Chains A and B, each alone.
Chain A
């Protein structure tokens, strides 16, 4: 494919006459010293500049919004972090569309029976999510036609056993508390984190 077109520069790019980008000329002994000095100078400047490493467990990043959600009016997603899901029991009808979507992706969602009685959920089934399998693509949120399943900012899901990674409908209904307030500030001096 490349060989057929690249024997001569493609016509579309010839309109603005591309010129090869030449790097600075090879270093002669005189400029070698200058090159070293410049390299050392650009590195040593950073001794005085504050580092922008995020001290993670003490500091947590602030995210956009409350997590990835779906806008019923425009039928597109709302930007946000795709963390752990939240399930609104008063909206879920047990239609299984989230589980059907996930079937070809991660097989993380299974429908389980719940004790609650809802008029709109005669079958009394709701999704249960296995976070050992979930890939956090959020396509289940897109698929939910009743806006019952959204995602939240909670990403700290580590646990000691596989069983604890399986979140039942009751666990998914709890709104997580996430308190990240650190933002990246970029100014003339460089990048840094500000609480």
Chain B
């Protein structure tokens, strides 16, 4: 019997929850996920006292694919198509920081036009991701118009990216040394026309969703994450900015051409679910300004890609670079031992860090508020599991 007790306390130390038979029948244990769309491919176990959540235990790992281990068997270029699988909706951003880190390792200089093109692709992809997230947030609040509109407008951005990169979702566009191909003819005009149209649409989004009294009542004051808690829990991206911390990697440590772009870090101080839902929207609007400037400042002609040897390799060393993705800081830590294949790759993703705030926010909330809090965290389970 002592053995069993030991094992239980050992498991509890590892964070597992043991429900003994003698526990009060008051509490109901509920497993949310992992196969229900209500949680993505992610499970969290909640204990309910009536309608209130008294305990929450996130259990990531359902879609763990061993991306980090897979990188050790492929060379720096072959790694690109599989590294974008964790977030296919934001695939330019997830390969962006990888490219930056490999360029630092191998000492490749990216041509200026290439830097602009990949910044444009990354901003377009941020729109695609955020629209997809907004659609899901809308439908989980029961607002089906907010599912249809962003899904439709996202299609126009996908068409743009398709013209630019050749693929609709998984672009494999960034490559160490620049981008795969130059922009097609007439891309700039098409892009600008689309942004003008899209900014008009954003106003309508605000009318029908963000300023809708029903949505406001549903989200305001739900799931407060104070500034101190946000910093202590280490959240990132829109969740951090919604808690009143104006921190954006594009501003704090500018990469490529972002130091030439004039933009504001969007943040809010209300720190509730509404703020967490509104900050990505403000980011989309700011991203339109960034896109206009990028298209304006892009050199008319020039190389887009540095010449690579067949198996790019650098001296032994390590590099860490990060970018601001749709979900926050996305960093790659790469150790190279001088061979064409990386020795170790560590992917640091925003989703996983935002997930750590989930138990903090859910405990004390009503079960009905769960989707409002959970989806506002901008959490992408597949990315968190890698």
Query: Residues of A with Cβ closer than 8 Å to B?
Result: 1-3, 5-7, 9-10, 12-13, 16, 18, 20-24, 26-27, 31-32, 35-36, 38-39, 41-43, 52-53, 61, 63-65, 67-68, 74-82, 101, 103-106, 135-139, 142, 151, 184, 186, 190-191
B240 within 8 A of A: yes
CB distance from A133 to the nearest CB of B (A): 12
Q: With A20-B244, A186-B193 in contact, do A76 and B264 touch (Cβ < 8 Å)?
A: no
CB contact under 8 A between A138 and B216, given known A18-B267, A105-B81, A186-B197: no
Contacts of B81 in A (CB 8 A): 105-106, 135, 137, 139
A-B contact pairs, 7 of them (CB 8 A): A2-B329, A18-B265, A23-B278, A27-B213, A52-B152, A79-B163, A186-B193
Known: A79-B182, A80-B166, A186-B194. A2 touches B235 (CB 8 A): yes
Q: Which 9 A-B pairs have the closest CB atoms?
A: A77-B181, A104-B78, A104-B74, A42-B207, A82-B166, A79-B184, A137-B172, A137-B81, A35-B213
Q: Write the nearest CB–CB distance from A74 to chain B, whole angstroms.
A: 8
CB distance from B14 to the nearest CB of A (A): 25
Find out whether the CB atom of B267 lies under 8 angstroms from the CB atom of A2: no
**Contact flag A2-B234 (CB < 8 Å), given A35-B213, A42-B207, A101-B78:** yes
State which residues 117-150 of B face A: CB under 8 Å: 145
- What residue of chain B has the Cβ atom nearest to residue A190's Cβ? B197
Shortest Cβ gap from A169 to chain B (Å): 23
Cβ–Cβ contact B252 & A20, under 8 A: no
> Considering the chains assembled together, what is the distance between the CA atoms of A22 and B210 in angstroms?
12
Determine which of A1, A20, A81 lies in contact with B166 in the assembled complex, contact meaning CB atoms within 8 Å: A81
**Closest chain B residue to A101, Cβ basis:** B78
Q: Are B216 and A26 in contact (CB under 8 A)?
A: yes
Query: In the docked arrangement, what's the CA distance between A63 and B167, Å?
Result: 11
Q: A20-B268, A21-B267 are in contact. Are A137 and B80 (CB under 8 A)?
A: yes
Query: B172–A139 contact, CB under 8 A?
Result: yes
Q: Are B244 and A191 in contact (CB under 8 A)?
A: no
CA distance A24 to B211 in the complex (A): 8
Contact with A along B164-180 (1 / 0, CB 8 A): 11110010100000001
Residues of A within 8 A of B269 (CB): 20, 22
Find A79's partner among B164, B234, B274, B329 (CB 8 Å cutoff).
B164
Chain A residue with the shortest CB-CB distance to B210: A23
A27-B329 contact, Cβ under 8 Å, with A138-B166, A184-B156: no
CB distance from A136 to the nearest CB of B (A): 6
Residues of chain B lying within 8 A (CB to CB) of residue A137: 80-81, 167, 170, 172
Known: A13-B246, A13-B251, A39-B208. A61 touches B159 (CB 8 A): yes
Q: Which residues of the partner chain B approach A26 to less than 8 Å between Cβ atoms?
A: 216, 220
* A residues less than 8 Å from B235 (CB atoms): 2
B73 interfacial by beta-carbon distance below 8 Å: yes
Interface check B64, CB cutoff 8 A: no
A32-B166 CB under 8 A given contacts A13-B248, A43-B145, A184-B159: no
Q: B231 contacts A7, CB within 8 Å?
A: yes
Q: Beyond A18-B265, A18-B267, A79-B164, is A35–B278 a contact (Cβ under 8 Å)?
A: no
Report if A79-B172 is in contact (Cβ < 8 Å); known contacts: A3-B232, A13-B248, A191-B197: no
B164 (CB) vs chain A CBs: closest residue: A79
Q: How far, in whole Å, are A63 and B185 apart by their CA atoms in the complex?
A: 12
With a cutoff of 8 Å between Cβ atoms, the chain A residues found around residue B268 in the complex are: 20-23
Would B167 and A82 count as touching, CB distance under 8 A?
yes
Complex alpha-carbon distance, A110 and B172, angstroms: 22
**Which residue on A lies nearest to B264, using beta carbons?**
A18
A9 in contact with B208 (CB, 8 Å):
no
Chain A residues positioned under 8 Å from B74 (CB to CB): 104-105
In Å, the complex CA distance between A103 and B77 comes to: 12
> What's the minimum C-beta distance from A139 to chain B, rounded to whole angstroms?
7
CB-based contact A136/B167 at 8 Å: yes
Q: B282 near A: Cβ within 8 Å?
A: yes
Q: Pick the contact of A64 from B163, B209, B252, B303 — CB < 8 Å?
A: B163
Contact of B181 among A2, A22, A35, A79 (CB under 8 A): A79
Partner of B78, one of A61, A82, A105: A105
Query: In the complex the two chains form, is B166's CB within 8 Å of A79's CB?
Result: yes
A20 / chain B contacts, CB cutoff of 8 Å? 244, 246, 267-269
Is B106 an interface residue, CB under 8 A from the partner? no
| B30 beta carbon closer than 8 Å to chain A | no
Q: Which residues of A contact B170 (CB under 8 A)?
A: 135-137
CA gap between A73 and B166 in the complex, in Å: 20
- A6 and B78 in contact, given A13-B246, A42-B208 (Cβ under 8 angstroms): no
Contacts of A82 in B (CB 8 A): 166-167
Residues of chain B with a CB closer than 8 A to A9's CB = 245-247
Q: How far is the CA of A63 from the CA of B184 in the complex (A)?
A: 11
B265 touches A13 (CB 8 A): yes
* B235-257 to A contact mask, C-beta < 8 Å, 1/0: 11000100011111001101000
Tell whether, in the assembled complex, residue A76 and residue B181 are in contact, meaning their CB atoms are under 8 Å apart.
yes
B162 lies within 8 A of chain A by Cβ = yes
A122 to B175, CA, bound (A): 34
With A135-B170, A139-B77, A191-B156 known as contacts, the answer to whether A2 contacts B207 (CB < 8 A) is: no
B10 at the interface (CB under 8 A from A): no
